Amino acid sequence: MSEREAQPVVLTGGRLIDGTGAEPITDAVITIDDGKIDQVGPADEVGIPAAAKVVDVAGKTILPGLIDAHVHLFGITSLNQMTWVIDEPHVRTIRAAMDAWRCLDAGFTTVRDAGGMLAIYVKRAIEEGSAIGPRIVASGMVISQTAGHGDMHFVPVEWNRRTQITRIADGVPEVRKAAREQLREGADMLKIFTTGGVMSEKDKPTTCQYSMDEIRAFVEEAKHAGVRTGTHAQGTQGIKNAVLAGVDNVDHGVYLDDEVIALMVERGTTLVPTMSVLEAIVRHGRQEGVLEASVRKAESVQSAHIASFKKALAAGVVCGLGTDYLSDPRSPMGANADELVNYVNKVGLSPMEAIVCATRNNALVLGLQDEIGTLEAGKQADLIIVEGDPLADISVLRDRKKIVEVYKGGKAVPRMPF
């Protein structure tokens, strides 16, 4: 470590939102040493080290680095799934690396890639210093049954392998092997499809997929490896099956009933709704070549999705935040704060509640609550400095020009050119 890197950094004079839901601290001081937060609090309670580099952020807001708990670093250029098969994987990997930088540049210092092998490769490049990007929690390929949500029904079955997005597996032994393959490649978290969905041609969001034995085998392999699990689950029974089998997180959760919500609260199962991608499909799907049936499914689930989210929140389910953005121009990386705006404008959360979902709660979803998610002593110094007050106007968080500085591990990161 160079002498300059070893120098403590102190941010002074800003309004601080710590991610816990506590009232903001005005005229706050936060000290950073060796990549971690050393002290944080009001100016009259925090001492400034003599050798520190002091940065005046008066008039600005300091927040924890934001987290998107559901992205896909696919490196695609269209919502049309045929292009996902046709595009050259090496080119897609380069695009994915640039998309990762866009996430970081937008203030998202951590993302969970919820399916796709490219994220594992991009993560390696970031960690070795060959690329710039956020912390990535990678799922590897999502495990799908034949004719399931992850099976591209409109192409020969062997073409699925080319996308490096899903791993088709049927029966307990094959599901176990598929889970182990993702772990071998470096997955930090595993994911399975337990229902149909919007973009799959031959099923419905309510279609139940995988047997209980298959889901339990998936969970068991993850537990043996000490990693968390997630499921794409939209229909009630498929959600219930996953929760009963021990899956840690439910993605989407479109049709939640009272019984399932009670089970989630009892078992500590988290929920990551994903409204932004549905909006993108409804608005732009037809122009992009998305199947008409998929656009209609997206239209049909929107109101139920919001209603289920509200019920889960009211019942005490820990709810994170994820866009499910796919990297294409209609659901682009760098626009991840769209979901915060949707939480406020469509669901009715306060800006503070939306921020907590994108910080503390998402850290809980990822099992990283001891490292990131809130601005507290001992945690990684992942934070952003914003022009304006997101508690007065949440949309400032999706205005790149108002993201003044992004810190990851205590270092200001290089920004992308406009």
Tell me the pLDDT tens digit for each residue of 254-282.
999 999 999 999 999 999 999 999 999 99
Q: What is the pLDDT of residue 158?
A: 75
Tell me the pLDDT tens digit for each residue of 203-254.
999 999 999 999 999 999 999 999 999 999 999 999 999 999 999 999 999 9
Selection from 56, 51, 55, 54 nearest residue 3 by Cα: 51
Tell me the pLDDT tens digit for each residue of 93-146.
999 999 999 999 999 999 999 999 999 999 999 999 999 999 999 999 999 999
Residues of the domain holding 242? 66-366
Tell me the pLDDT tens digit for each residue of 351-364.
999 999 999 999 99
Q: Please, are residues 131 and 125 in contact by the beta-carbon 8 Å criterion?
A: yes
- Would you say residue 306 lies in a domain? yes
Q: Which two tokens stand for residue 276?
A: 């932004």
Judge if 295 and 215 occupy the same domain.
yes
Query: For 228, how many CA atoms within 13 A lie in the half-sphere containing its CB?
Result: 19
Q: Name the 3-class secondary structure at 14.
A: strand
DSSP 193: E
Cα–Cα distance for residue pair 206/209, rounded to 1 Å: 9
Query: pLDDT at residue 4 above 50?
Result: no
Judge if 269 and 135 occupy the same domain.
yes
Q: Please report which helix (H) or strand (E) contains residue 217, including its range.
A: helix 212-225
- Would you say residue 42 lies in a domain? yes
Judge if 13 and 101 occupy the same domain.
no
Cα–Cα distance for residue pair 42/26, rounded to 1 Å: 7
Judge if 73 and 205 occupy the same domain.
yes
Q: What is the pLDDT of residue 5?
A: 54
Residues with Cβ < 8 Å from 56, sequence gap 6 or more? 12, 13
27 carries an active-site annotation: no
Helices 258-267 + 292-315 axis angle, to 10: 60
- Would you say residue 341 lies in a domain? yes
Q: Which two tokens stand for residue 191?
A: 């994911």
Number of domains into which the chain is organized: 2
Choosing from 99, 113, 151, 191, the catalytic residue is 191
Q: Please, are residues 37 and 371 in contact by the beta-carbon 8 Å criterion?
A: no
Q: Please, are residues 243 and 262 in contact by the beta-carbon 8 Å criterion?
A: no
Q: Say what the alpha-carbon torsion angle 206, 209, 213, 218 is, to the nearest 10 degrees.
A: -110
- Would you say residue 418 lies in a domain? no
Judge if 218 and 165 occupy the same domain.
yes
Please name the amino acid found at residue 394. I
Tell me the pLDDT tens digit for each residue of 358-396.
999 999 999 999 999 999 999 999 999 999 999 999 999
User: Going by DSSP bridges, is the β-strand pair 66-71/135-138 parallel, antiparallel, or unpaired?
Assistant: unpaired
Judge if 50 and 97 occupy the same domain.
no
- Would you say residue 85 lies in a domain? yes
- Would you say residue 142 lies in a domain? yes
Q: What phi and psi values does residue 241 have, to the nearest 5 degrees?
A: -60, -45
Task: Determine how many CB atoms are found less than 10 A away from the CB of residue 51.
Answer: 8
Judge if 58 and 162 occupy the same domain.
no
Selection from 69, 70, 93 nearest residue 361 by Cα: 69
Choosing from 38, 324, 328, 382, the catalytic residue is 324
Cα–Cα distance for residue pair 380/394, rounded to 1 Å: 24
Cα–Cα distance for residue pair 212/230, rounded to 1 Å: 15
Q: Kindly report the CATH number assigned to the domain that includes residue 295.
A: 3.20.20.140
223 carries an active-site annotation: no
Cα–Cα distance for residue pair 272/264, rounded to 1 Å: 12
Cα–Cα distance for residue pair 189/141, rounded to 1 Å: 10
For the stretch 143-163, what's the b/e string if a residue is b when 16 or more beta carbons lie within 10 angstroms of its beta carbon?
Answer: bbbebbbbbbeebeeeebeeb
Cα–Cα distance for residue pair 110/86, rounded to 1 Å: 29
Cα–Cα distance for residue pair 220/277, rounded to 1 Å: 31
Q: What is the pLDDT of residue 52?
A: 95
Cα–Cα distance for residue pair 379/149, rounded to 1 Å: 38
pLDDT band at 35 (very low <50, low <70, confident <90, very high): very high
Query: For 165, how many CA atoms within 13 A lie in the half-sphere containing its CB?
Result: 22
Q: Kindly report the CATH number assigned to the domain that includes residue 385.
A: 2.30.40.10
Judge if 226 and 141 occupy the same domain.
yes
Segment 161-167 mean pLDDT: 85
Query: pLDDT at residue 411 above 70?
Result: yes
Tell me the pLDDT tens digit for each residue of 53-81.
999 999 999 999 999 999 999 999 988 88
% of the chain exceeding 70 in pLDDT: 99
The per-residue pLDDT of the chain, averaged, comes to 96
Selection from 186, 182, 241 nearest residue 215 by Cα: 241
Judge if 223 and 281 occupy the same domain.
yes
Strand spans (E) along 74-151: 108-113, 135-138, 142-144
Judge if 152 and 16 occupy the same domain.
no
Location of structure tokens 């270092």 = 411
- Would you say residue 417 lies in a domain? no
Q: Which residue has the higher pLDDT, 2 or 323?
A: 323
Please name the amino acid found at residue 56. D
Location of structure tokens 């950073």 = 32
Selection from 142, 238, 151, 154 nearest residue 192 by Cα: 142
Q: What is the pLDDT of residue 85?
A: 85
Tell me the pLDDT tens digit for each residue of 397-408.
999 999 999 999
Judge if 103 and 161 occupy the same domain.
yes
- Would you say residue 230 lies in a domain? yes
Judge if 170 and 27 occupy the same domain.
no
% of the chain exceeding 90 in pLDDT: 89
Segment 27-53 mean pLDDT: 96
